[in-house]
Amino acid sequence: MAAGLGTRMKSNLAKVLHRLDGRPLINHVCETSLTLRPSSINVIVGHQAEDVKRAVTTELGDAKFTFPLQKQQLGTGDAVNSGKKLLKDRDSVLLVLSGDVPMISSKTLKALIAKHRRSRATCTILTVELDDPTGYGRVIREGGDFSRIVEQKDASDEEKSCREINSGIYCFDTEKLFQALAKVGNTNAQGEYYLTDVPTIFKKKGDKIALFLHDDKHEIEGINDRRQLAAMEAELRDRTITRLMLESGVTFIDPSSAYVSAKAKIGRDTVIYQNVTIEGRSVIGEGCTIRPGTRIVNSTLLDGVDIRDNCFITDSEIGNGCAVGPMAHLRGHAVMEDGSKIGNFVELKKTRLGKKSKASHLTYLGDATIGENTNIGAGTITCNYDGKNKHETHIGNNVKIGSDTMLVAPITVGDGAATGAGSVVTKDIAPNKLAVGAPARAIRSLEKKQDK
């Protein structure tokens, strides 16, 4: 269910589009659902329906998903009934989840489904006990068995004292569910059609209702306001960093100040300093050092990489034994091959820097391919944009680019060539030639004369 706006979020954005761990809430639930290998996943949409569809399918594809529309938000029963045309004739088990409960695990859902089948129940409800159940629908038992679910606003004082709550997660016999939904009314404090009325309808018919009491309250926590969202972000971050320290052998100098995505992977003996942010599906190898102020997004670092202070690395790859920064920027699928180095105030954009090549200071390399053992002098710029189009620069192996060189693309610098400081290179430089001036011109060969 993902149709609501979420008025308590005080936002123009639909609640399920707010982000946890850098991803929309609805995507967490949908990705967990995919691990169950269902025949289909029906995301009930309403507010900002197209944006919700786009968020899900952009990350997870559209092969398994359909998006029934709840035209008016008239309660959870009405929401599920929006999928009636697609589901009513299915002889199947239907799992109902909430789009704002992102921490539910596939392990728990598999156990819930197993109990539902084992019990031969028409409906199975996932419940938990809370010290403070205020705001949740209470699960009332009689003789240990299910009696009814009472919403907070409709509960008596005695019913409010019950600590077992409805998580909003259910298994249903699909065909019987939609038959029961036709009998649900809206004579309640909210004037809505409650899905919680369905188990009572089943019970009156003599159908079996099973209860699955879960022991992890954090998994079923919903997000209703920004305070809860922040608390869940902190909980997820703490779990992630603890797991990396205990299971992966990662050192955090100050765990309280680091942010690491739950999707990130970090190798043994890597050291993460304070105020480091690692986002998305980043992969960091063994024995790396990530120093303070660095942000890494959806990037791959191999082993023994040294990232110095205040670097920004996004959608890029860094090879074994490379050094980056301080204050360097990699973006646009930049690649650093093994042993290469970039220093302070160097930016790589859509550029491949070859093995053991260096750009140590104050340099912009965009749309460039650079060979091995090449040195790029301070202040070098690949002038890749002519006002209409981007052009490529190709620099060979064992090249020496002098300080403040402007390489006006498209251009090729051959193996073993060099430029003088302050050169403006507008024409290709042949291998082993030295070019100087503005515009640069080749003045002599750099090839060593062979002894006679």
Collapse the DSSP code of 265 into the 3-class scheme (helix H, G, I; strand E, B; otherwise coil) and give the result: strand
Residues 6 or more apart whose Cβ sits within 8 Å of residue 37: none
From the list 82, 76, 7, 5, the residue with the least C-alpha distance to 42 is 82
Structure letter (DSSP) for residue 188: S
Task: List active site positions.
Answer: 361
All residues at 6 or more sequence positions from 74 whose CB lies less than 8 Å from its CB, including other chains? 186, 192, 193
Phi, psi of 320 (to 5 degrees): -60, 135
Paired tokens of 29: 């639930």
In angstroms, how far is CA 425 from the centroid of its own chain?
42
Q: What does the alpha-carbon distance between residue 183 and residue 193 come to, in Å, rounded to a whole number?
A: 10
Q: What would the two tokens of residue 352 be? A: 């491949």
Residue 50 in tokens:
């197209």
Q: How far is CA 342 from CA 97, 173, 204, 291, 294, in A?
A: 48, 60, 72, 15, 15
**Distance in angstroms (rounded) separating the CA atoms of residues 159 and 55:** 39
* Number of H-type helices and E-type strands within the chain: 9, 39
Q: Which are the contacts of 320, defined by CB distance < 8 A and separation ≥ 6?
A: 285, 302, 303, 304, 305, 338, 339
Q: C-alpha distances in angstroms, 391 versus 358, 402, 424, 448? A: 22, 21, 16, 33
Say which residue the tokens 């693309």 belong to.
Answer: 409
The one-character DSSP state at 219 is G
Distance from chain centroid for Cα 233:
13
**Token duo for residue 388:** 């209409």
User: Could you tell me if 78 and 192 are in contact, meaning their C-beta atoms sit under 8 angstroms apart?
Assistant: yes
